[in-house]
């Protein structure tokens, strides 16, 4: 039961008790209890009706009484401005909001949200949505031009000589150069074991026999071989293949001269790289050629178009997983770095403070705009919902206080006014 219903029931109860007191006073005249009960109920009824009229007059016209009633609808603009000022200047002031912000820890809230299952699902969905949106709006030509300029600029700034020197020193450690050479040789042997190897050698030899730019001696040997049927491309291919395979098998021997030669050259470069002027110049020349003359645009466009065909309209799950994994790594680093968390907390609160100071007036404008859209009935209901309980207690207190005042007046008149005050006044005349 709400307070309004309780106030109505109490007023009805007071009215019924007043009727009962009238009957008791009529049948028990000059009885102290009957007269006191009547006085108390009369005052309680008057107090209850008066407060009911006053509270109802705020919202409506009680009993159709038109003067100084329906105060809230009649003065709706003043009421709305008052509510706005109360919220803007008393309840949600800049200082009160700042104190609430100061007592909050946004980084803790952020960590709790991201670590929650819903938070991670939200981040993953946002990544997919953002990726699709970026890809759909991406200008490939403009993107590639920027990428090409960025790559060439970075290539120019790279100190390849020092980087290559580091690579050389790394190769010399633990005899890595020999291990790398053996690995390359094994890969070459594996490639030779494929069927395409012999066909490629045969094609190369065939092209060589048909080349016009040969020396007279080469043309003579080839002509002689063709006339005597002593030159067979198939036999030459087999011989060439066997020779290459034999050379590679020899290089697999760790004592082969090529390993020692590679080690000597790498050692010379590592000990005195500044003396290898030709090597330094070649490296620098190669770098500048790559940065200035090589056109990366077509290649990057081709790769980008192939990527977009597979990524749009549905992003590759592998790509999303990779991005998500990288973000998770940085997120774990962030959670373990207290200083970084404190820095972010300070920055977040600074932004919020600036936003509060600049946009605080919006709170009042929103309140005024929302209340301005209410009709009289909605405005009355809004005020009743916010202050209705207190207003109904005023009605209840009206009956209670009225009854108490009625009792005090009855006792005063009975034991003070009638026996003492009235005779005193009469003696003056």
Q: What is the pLDDT of residues 349-368, one digit of tens each?
A: 999 888 888 888 888 888 88
Can you give the residue range of the structural domain that contains 9?
A: 3-74+374-427
- Residue 197's Cβ-side half-sphere holds a number of Cα atoms within 13 Å equal to 15
User: Mean pLDDT across the stretch 387-399?
Assistant: 81
Q: Could you tell me if 324 and 378 lie in one domain?
A: no
Burial of 2 (0-12, 13-18, 19+ CB in 10 A): exposed
Nearest CA to 297 among 141, 153, 150, 154?
Answer: 141
> Which of the listed residues 328, 359, 390 is the one where a domain comes to its end?
359
| Band of residue 180 on the pLDDT scale cut at 50, 70, 90 | confident
Burial of 304 (0-12, 13-18, 19+ CB in 10 A): middle
Q: Could you tell me if 326 and 271 lie in one domain?
A: no
Give the model's pLDDT for residue 182.
Answer: 79
Q: Could you tell me if 408 and 319 lie in one domain?
A: no
> Which of the listed residues 248, 267, 294 is the one where a domain comes to its end?
294
Give the model's pLDDT for residue 1.
Answer: 47
Nearest CA to 380 among 5, 68, 75, 51?
Answer: 75
Q: Could you tell me if 266 and 159 lie in one domain?
A: yes
User: Mean pLDDT across the stretch 378-407?
Assistant: 82
Q: Could you give the angle at the alpha carbon of 156 between the alpha carbons of 152 and 161, nearest 5°?
A: 135
366 domain-assigned: no
Q: Could you tell me if 286 and 201 lie in one domain?
A: yes
Q: Could you tell me if 177 and 277 lie in one domain?
A: yes
Total count of domains within the chain: 3
Percent of the chain residues topping a pLDDT of 90: 10
Nearest CA to 28 among 18, 38, 16, 42?
Answer: 38
- Residues 267 and 172: beta-carbon distance below 8 Å: yes
89 domain-assigned: no
Q: Could you tell me if 207 and 289 lie in one domain?
A: yes
Q: Could you tell me if 159 and 221 lie in one domain?
A: yes
């Amino acid at each position: 039961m709400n307070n309004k219903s309780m106030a109505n029931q109490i007023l009805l109860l007071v009215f019924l008790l007043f009727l009962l007191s009238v009957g008791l006073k009529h049948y028990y005249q000059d009885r102290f209890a009957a007269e006191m009960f009547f006085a108390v109920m009369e005052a309680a009824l008057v107090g209850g009706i008066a407060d009911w009229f006053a509270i109802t007059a705020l919202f409506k016209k009680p009993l159709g009484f038109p003067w100084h009633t329906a105060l809230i609808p009649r003065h709706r603009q003043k009421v709305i401005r008052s509510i706005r000022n109360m919220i803007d200047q008393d309840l949600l002031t800049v200082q009160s909001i700042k104190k609430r912000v100061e007592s909050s820890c946004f980084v803790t809230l952020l960590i709790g949200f991201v670590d929650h299952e819903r938070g991670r699902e939200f981040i993953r969905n946002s990544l997919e949505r953002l990726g699709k949106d970026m890809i759909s709006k991406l200008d490939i030509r403009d993107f590639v031009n920027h990428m090409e300029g960025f790559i060439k600029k970075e290539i120019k700034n790279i100190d390849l000589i020092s980087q290559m020197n580091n690579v050389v020193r790394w190769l010399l450690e633990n005899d890595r150069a020999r291990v790398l050479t053996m690995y390359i040789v094994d890969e070459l042997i594996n490639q030779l074991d494929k069927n395409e190897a012999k066909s490629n050698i045969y094609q190369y030899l065939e092209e060589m026999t048909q080349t016009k730019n040969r020396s007279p001696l080469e043309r003579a040997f080839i002509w002689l071989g063709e006339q005597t049927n002593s030159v067979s491309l198939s036999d030459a291919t087999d011989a060439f293949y066997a020779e290459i395979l034999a050379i590679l098998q020899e290089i697999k021997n760790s004592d082969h001269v090529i390993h020692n030669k590679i080690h000597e050259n790498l050692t010379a470069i590592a000990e005195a790289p500044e003396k290898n002027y030709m090597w330094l110049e070649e490296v620098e020349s190669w770098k500048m050629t790559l940065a200035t003359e090589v056109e990366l645009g077509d290649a990057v466009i081709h790769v980008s178009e192939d990527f977009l065909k597979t990524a749009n309209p549905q992003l590759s799950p592998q790509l999303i997983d990779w991005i998500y994994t990288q973000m998770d790594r940085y997120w774990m680093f962030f959670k373990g770095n207290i200083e970084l968390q404190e820095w972010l907390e300070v920055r977040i609160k600074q932004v919020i403070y600036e936003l509060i100071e600049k946009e605080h007036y919006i709170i009042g404008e929103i309140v005024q705009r929302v209340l301005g859209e209410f009709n009289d009935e909605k405005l009355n209901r809004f005020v009743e919902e916010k202050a209705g309980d207190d207003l109904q207690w005023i009605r209840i207190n009206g009956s209670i206080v009225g009854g108490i005042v009625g009792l005090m007046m009855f006792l005063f008149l009975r034991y003070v006014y009638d026996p003492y005050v009235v005779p005193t006044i009469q003696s003056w005349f």
